[in-house]
Amino acid sequence: MSVPLAWRNLIHERGKLILSVTGVAVALTLMVLLVGFRDGMYASLTAYYDHLPADLVVAQSDTTLAGTIPVTLHDKLTAISGAVATEHGIAAGVIFTHGSVKIAIALVGYNPQTGIGGPWKLAEGRGVQTDDEIVLDAQLAQESRLALGDKVDLLGQSLTVVGLSRETSSWVGYYVFVARAAAESLLRFSGTTSFYVLRLPAGANTSAIARDIEAQIAGVKVSSPARIAANARKSVGSVLDSTLNALLLVSIVIGIAVMGLTAYTAVIDRAREYGVLKALGADGWRLARLVVSETLYRAALGFGLGIALSYVIGDLLTRVVPRWSVLIRPETLVNTGVAALVMTVIAALLPIRRIAAIDPAVVFKS
């Protein structure tokens, strides 16, 4: 009985329904977007490792590819690991400046012959072929007003843009690709490289091979790309997590407060209708059920609208500023949804005492 009544009660005044549902939806959207922004930040941070076609990576550390190890390890690594393909590359963080754009980038030098370690998705153009060419992230090129064929200065050298890559932006900056020889010259590497990529035969024991390499070559760490990605996330987390989580907590508390306040307002707003029901014989338990039912309807509608808004705004944000990828995980929706539901129901039950105290006779005076 109370369900159709609750629904009719709600849709009777659509303006108020829209207002309360919007309140819940906006608060929920803000929470989902903030958590999504944090998750997206971590996901985009490891894009390069996630696309590196390697079973094992040999570098100076197991947290980043940037570093310096001897370039002469090629044959030794192949011999120890039995790799079907061994390649090396250079990676370093540098600052890209062009016009009004000034941003940190990860400069990657790869072998144009094999393409291993180079861009994995091109929006336009091609990979580099010579030492005076560069592939920029498509968004970075757009921000810098650069197109294919344009010249760009990097670390004092002029390079021609020959390709624009996709999925190569992260919240800290962009990936930019040049030929390995060009990177050696730009970064003044002499007899060193940053990392080796090993492709092992099918069924190879990667853990045993990693141990063998570390035992036989001093000063190197051997890891899978997934492990480096996990360590990179941990590294950034050690700096950002406490601060970011504090901000998230404040935001979530505010968001839940907004939802609670919206639910409370909506119930108070209908005090007169509850009075009528009381006059018609509804007891406190029945009123409480009605209030909770109405609140659940509102919360469900707000939740649905909030999810839709989160996806739309998240997608929009990612399109406008691609290095801010907003990643909305199902568990984020579940967690924020449950928190929102609990808070809205509690907030809706707060004025129950007040509704229970309404004198039914007053209702008939009007």
Partner 1 sequence: MLKLAWRNLTQERLRMGIGVAGVALAVLLILLVNGIFHGAEESMVTYINRQPASFWLMQPGVENMHMAYSMLLPGLVEKVKQVPGVEDASGVLYVAANVQVGDTPVPSYIFGIDPGQSLGGPWKLAEGTADLGPTQAVIDHSLAERYKLKVGDAINIRGFDLTIIGLSDETFGFGSNIVFVNKTAMALSMGVSPLAASYILVRPTPGTDLNSLAGRLKAAIPEANLRTKADFIASDMELARKMGSDVIQVMNIIAYVIGLLVIGISIYTITLERMREYGVLKALGAHHRQLLTVVFVQAFASAGLGYGIGIGLAYMAAALIRNLSLTQIIIEPGGVLSQIPVLMVITVLAALLSVVRVLRLDPMLVFQS
Considering only residues 260 through 279, tell me which ones interact with partner 1, judged by CB under 8 A.
260-262, 264-265, 268-269
The helix/strand/coil state of 251 is helix
The distance of closest approach from Cβ of residue 102 to partner 1 in the complex, given in angstroms and rounded to an integer, is: 5
Residue with token string 């990576």: 57
Q: Of the listed pieces 5-13, 23-31, 50-58, 80-88, which binds partner 1 according to CB under 8 A?
A: 23-31
Restricted to residues 209-238, the positions that interact with partner 1 (CB under 8 A) are 219-221, 231, 234-236, 238
Which of residues 321 and 339 has its CB atom nearest to partner 1 in the complex? 321
- CB 59, min distance to partner 1, A: 9
CA distance 58 to 216: 13
Query: Which x/- pattern, by CB under 8 A, does the window 291-320 give for partner 1?
Result: --------------------------x---
Contact status, residue 195 vs residue 58, Cβ threshold 8 Å:
yes
Contact status, residue 170 vs residue 161, Cβ threshold 8 Å: no
Q: Which of 8, 149, 188, 202 binds partner 1 (CB under 8 A)?
A: 188
Instruction: Lay out the site mask for partner 1 across 44-83 (x = CB under 8 A, - = otherwise).
Output: ----------------xx-xx-xxxxx-------------
**Amino acid in the structure at residue 46:** T
- CB contact set of 311 (below 8 Å; sequence gap of 6+): 328
5, 47, 85, 103: residue in contact with partner 1 (rule CB under 8 A): 103
Question: What does the DSSP assignment read for 276-325?
Answer: HHHHTT--HHHHHHHHHHHHHHHHHHHHHHHHHHHHHHHHHHHHHSTTS-
Binding to partner 1 (CB under 8 A) within 319-338 occurs at: 321, 324
- Going by C-beta distance under 8 Å and a sequence separation of 6 or more, which residues neighbour residue 8? none
Number of residues counted as binding partner 1 (CB under 8 A):
75
Backbone φ and ψ for 358, nearest 5 degrees, come out as: -65, 135
Q: Which segment (29-37, 111-119, 201-209, 277-285) binds partner 1 by CB under 8 A? A: 29-37
